[in-house]
Amino acid sequence: MAIMLYSVCAGLAFVFELLLNAATSQYTSVGPNQTSSNPFGTVSPAEPVHTEVTITSSRNFMKNNASSHMCRGNCSSLPYPCYNNCSANFDCIYGHYVFFNCTVKKPTLCSGPTTVPVKFQCRMCYMTQPEKEHTCFQKNVSCKVNSTPRQRVKSTCSVQDTVFCLGQRTFSKMVPCNWSSGYSWSVSLVLSVTLGGFGVDRFYLGYWKEGLGKFFSFGGLGVWTLIDAVLIGTGYLGPSDGSFYVR
pLDDT computed for residue 21 by the predictor: 60
pLDDT computed for residue 18 by the predictor: 59
pLDDT computed for residue 151 by the predictor: 80
Quote the CA–CA distance of 191 and 16 in Å, as a whole number: 8
Choose among 169, 173, 170: nearest CA to 139. 173
Q: What is the pLDDT of residues 119-133, one digit of tens each?
A: 898 999 999 998 889
Quote the CA–CA distance of 88 and 167 in Å, as a whole number: 9
pLDDT computed for residue 16 by the predictor: 59
Task: Tell me if residue 165 falls in helix, strand or coil.
Answer: coil
Extract the residue ranges of the chain whose pLDDT is less than 70.
1-69, 140-141, 147-148, 247
pLDDT computed for residue 37 by the predictor: 43
pLDDT computed for residue 134 by the predictor: 92
pLDDT computed for residue 40 by the predictor: 41
What DSSP line would sit under 55-122, residue for residue? ---STTHHHH-TT-GGG-EEGGG--GGGEEEE---S-S-TT-EEEEEEEEPSSP-EES-SEEEEEEES
Is the Cβ–Cβ distance between 33 and 56 less than 8 Å?
Answer: no
Backbone dihedral region for residue 109 (phi beyond 0: left; psi -120 to 50: alpha; all else: beta)? alpha
pLDDT computed for residue 124 by the predictor: 92
Quote the CA–CA distance of 201 and 197 in Å, as a whole number: 9
pLDDT computed for residue 15 by the predictor: 55
Gyration radius (Cα) of the chain, Å: 25
Quote the CA–CA distance of 195 and 211 in Å, as a whole number: 11
Quote the CA–CA distance of 232 and 185 in Å, as a whole number: 8
Model pTM greater than 0.75?
A: no
